[in-house]
Structure 1
Amino acid sequence: MALRAAEKGFMVVGLDTNVAVVEALNSGVSHIDDVSDDELKTGLSSGYRASNDPAEMATADVIVVCVPTPLSEDGGPDLGAVKGAATAIGEHVQPGALVILESTTYPGTTEEVFAPLVLGPGRQAGTDIRIAFSPERIDPGNREYGVKNTPKVVGGLTPECTRAARDFYAEFIDTVVEAKGAKEAEMAKLLENTFRHVNIALVNEMVRFSHELDIDLWDAIDCAATKPFGYMAFRPGPGVGGHCIPVDPSYLSHRVKAQLGYAFRMVELAEEINTAAPLYVANRVWQALNERKIAVNGARILLLGVTYKANISDRRESPADPLAKRLLEWGAEVRYHDPYVPEWTIKATAGKKLMCEKDLSEAVREADIVVLLQAHSEYDLDGIAAESSHLLDTRGAHFASTAHVSRL
């Protein structure tokens, strides 16, 4: 977002509390997959720079907030970073500035939590400071849709706030969509991800009984996908990961329960199914080993691709963690390979650290079973299938029908 704005002639400051990140950015070293070092260096020469000085906000015409919004330990929204950013903005922002929150959150956050801290006493939204919400829609690793050609939804606290946000984004984004207000823009983001969450849960549950009924669900999905209307294909997998799908619907569910007193049952059921998906994969691993008279206790299991999505390095909420945890609890010797992850500290296992296998072919041959979690483009699936004693494909990426290759 910052680089696209700089490309259009804006003077852009990237503000972060992490000094190491700031120094790396200013030296031309990118820390995210979708921005290469060359792109960053072009941005630095076009008007972008990084800083850790909050006083930079005092000269800003526009302030865009993109801080994380994780879940708290009790499963509710953790708005600590949002509140911290809003408080810092309130201390420095000048009258007439436009302040936009992009961090995904529950409907009402911009108006009830964010705006009061930005405005402080005596200032009004829409007159003194314009405040809006615009959900981020970045899809990591997507080479077709980026900042410029992905429509941007904006919703302000007043019509003037909405127009100001619309005009800003229209400078470097092809299509800007005006929502009725900030709450509708906040809800739009949660609706998008809840839709995905529920439909992924649907196929993740269907794949279980399809296996028991000897039905090839993957083939059924491909057949259904030929319908040109009224259907969108979702495919099962080892679980959901990233920030959006495992976290965002919970924000909406928490808001409904806290404000209205009843459960958003569709989201809660989807969360239950998708959370159990890695454990189902573990059971399928146990079953595949058992059929070959190999005990899971002591078996060498190779996991391929431990990021939450193919062809990126992001590991947030990756289903590889609960899968590995369960296999380790059963006594398995868990190894992994991922071209994007040189080392892996498995959550909830007292910080157990694994190093990426250096020789993929050797690791495949030595494993009692290979589990494909992410079909990174670097993987030669035919070669892996040929060298493995058994391949469990959780992504439906390898369609060869052989005795030692099975799909989820």
Structure 2
Amino acid sequence: MLLKELKDKIENQSAKIGIIGLGYVGLPILTAFAKKGFSVLGFDVDRQKINQIQAGRSYIKHIPDEDLKNHLIDVTSDMSRLGEVDAIAICVPTPLNIHREPDLSYVVDTTYAIARSLKIGQLIILESTTYPGTTKEVVLPILSRSGFIVGEDFSLAYSPEREDPGNENYSLVNVPKVVGGITTLCRDLAETLYNQIIATTVPVSSTQTAEATKILENIYRAVNIALVNELKILLQKMDIDIWEVIEAAKTKPFGFHAFYPGPGWGGHCIPIDPFYLTWKAREYDVSLRFIELAGEVNTLMPNYVVDKLVAALNDRSKPLKNSRILILGVAYKKNVDDQRESPSLKIIQLLQRQGADIEYHDPYALTCSNHRHYPEINLQSVSLTPENLQKFDAVIITTDHDNVDYDLVAEHSSLIVDTRNVLAAKGLKTKNTVVA
């Protein structure tokens, strides 16, 4: 049986592994298999990524160039080569459309490309975050048009990515990997594959369960971020320091996990994935009000930051229009270069539309452009110097990168709107600091 032969090939590392989508999820998986001695073939439609990998240059901060140079890594934009590999992981984007509905076009197009080259014995794994049922209801029917039978001629599984860019304690190899298959054999093959590069795999009963696991993880974070952001607004009006409250609350050794407020939510998961489930829930006549409310709270946080800035400028008899504003950080979280869904982008858009002159500094993101929902933003990071800081009417700290000279910011800025409480945490808060 060819599927049994595939298991043997995986275990003796003679299987060839294909990864479709070489972004923050796909490239780490590709390099992990290459490090273990597997023959790998990466696919991406972005020729710039292909060229950089072929030149041994990494475009993801936590993947060093050496990982690309020291291993035999083949990459291509030619999807007709999918028939060369034994196992395929799909790591393509699953964004929302303008109506906040799932956009599965990347998954669907990729699946059709696989179907055209599908061969008996192949293992297909979807990693892209999506609503429960996608693998079985969307991917499987496309692959089955070949006439092949899942669980007999080919295997299909789902294993959600759990990447956390910038996390120095947890990486691909030491984060448990949830795996669900269309059949038990499908799951076991996928588990065997990931066992080659990951310390722990967590098998579950179905692809739907694996899909729901990922959605639950991100809903948990989205709801708690919204809760703490809403409390921040209230407690500021009550003249209570939300950060002091959180530090006190987290001394409780059980029943509490600390979440921190900020300018909104960002990244490739939390602002998007919960709405995949709210969309799917409509099919069952269920309204997921917690998720929708969390979305409303977090989506409006950039407006709250802008309102705090406007009020602070008004106190100084300065209108927002024509004011020079420096955004300190465009990455969605500290110590990474990832700008996807960053609340900083919405803040920049709001300020530009009200006539402010915007610049930014980010040591990790030297350019800010080509964003799906913010095509009008086209900026370059400026230097953080005393002379530059003194030119601005206000600085908004939107990302609390560690390698920023906050002493310099505190000393030379006429007005600071701190959305991360970083200055107070460092003992640098001045009378010119507004916490937002």
Letter aligned with residue 270 of structure 1: A
Match of 2:254 in 1: 229
- Equivalent positions of 1:300-379 (< 5 A) are 300-345=324-369, 351-379=376-404
Deviations 1:284-323 (CA, angstroms, capped at 9, x unpaired) = 1111112222222222211100111122221111111221
SS in 2 for 1:168: helix
- Equivalent positions of 1:275-294 (< 5 A) are 275-294=299-318
Aligned residues: 404
SS in 2 for 1:206: helix
Counterpart Cα distance in 2 of 1:221 and 1:20: 44
Counterpart Cα distance in 2 of 1:137 and 1:30: 20
* 1:338 Cα deviation after fit: 1.3
Q: Which one of the candidate residues 11, 16, 23 is aligned to 2:39?
A: 11
Counterpart Cα distance in 1 of 2:113 and 2:245: 53
Match of 2:422 in 1: 397
Letter aligned with residue 371 of structure 1: I
* 1:278 Cα deviation after fit: 0.3
Q: Is contact 1:60-1:93 (8 Å) kept?
A: no
Match of 1:156 in 2: 181
Counterpart Cα distance in 2 of 1:134 and 1:145: 17
Letter aligned with residue 289 of structure 1: L
* 1:144 Cα deviation after fit: 1.4
Match of 1:147 in 2: 172
Q: Is contact 1:59-1:94 (8 Å) kept?
A: no
Match of 2:60 in 1: 32
SS in 2 for 1:246: coil
Counterpart Cα distance in 2 of 1:136 and 1:287: 42
- Confirm whether residue 202 of structure 1 aligns to residue 230 of structure 2: no
Deviations 1:77-102 (CA, angstroms, capped at 9, x unpaired) = 11111111111111112111111000
Counterpart Cα distance in 2 of 1:393 and 1:102: 36
- Confirm whether residue 175 of structure 1 aligns to residue 200 of structure 2: yes
Q: Is contact 2:115-2:146 (8 Å) kept?
A: no
* 1:114 Cα deviation after fit: 0.5
Any stretches of 5+ residues in structure 2 without a counterpart?
1-28
TM-score by length of 2: 0.89
Q: Is contact 1:119-1:129 (8 Å) kept?
A: no
Sort the Cα spacing of 1:159 and 1:350 in 2 relative to 1 into closer, same or farther, 3 A.
closer
* 1:29 Cα deviation after fit: 1.6
SS in 1 for 2:108: helix
Match of 2:50 in 1: 22
Counterpart Cα distance in 2 of 1:344 and 1:7: 32
Match of 1:84 in 2: 109
* 1:121 Cα deviation after fit: 4.4
Counterpart Cα distance in 2 of 1:285 and 1:187: 39
Match of 1:241 in 2: 266
Root-mean-square deviation over aligned CA pairs: 1.6
Counterpart Cα distance in 1 of 2:375 and 2:336: 26
Any stretches of 5+ residues in structure 1 without a counterpart?
none
Moved over 4 A (4+): 346-350
Deviations 1:181-225 (CA, angstroms, capped at 9, x unpaired) = 100000000000010000000011111111111010110001001
TM-score by length of 1: 0.95
Letter aligned with residue 266 of structure 1: F
* 1:109 Cα deviation after fit: 0.3
Letter aligned with residue 403 of structure 1: K
Counterpart Cα distance in 2 of 1:374 and 1:24: 28
Match of 2:285 in 1: 261
Letter aligned with residue 264 of structure 1: L
Counterpart Cα distance in 1 of 2:166 and 2:251: 26
Counterpart Cα distance in 2 of 1:143 and 1:325: 32
